[in-house]
Amino acid sequence: MRKNRLTRSRQNKWIAGICGGIAEYFGWDAELLRLIWVVLTIGTAFCGGIVYLVLWLIMPQD
């Protein structure tokens, strides 16, 4: 079990820290995750934007 919690990042954020928090939790590169998120958002008729807003509401801040 992980001691870390999935939270929004305060240090590594552009808008709300969602991608930065996910990247910190899994040990990924935040810039690469943001690029993947943008490509998937555009490719899925902007459904990623809705997911981002939902995560913004449910993920606690760091």
pLDDT band at 62 (very low <50, low <70, confident <90, very high): confident
Q: Is the pLDDT of residue 1 over 70?
A: no
DSSP state of 14: S
Mean pLDDT confidence for 22-40: 95
Average pLDDT over the chain, rounded to an integer: 91
pTM of the model: 0.85
Report how many helices (DSSP H) and strands (DSSP E) the chain contains, helices first. Answer: 3, 0
pLDDT band at 2 (very low <50, low <70, confident <90, very high): low
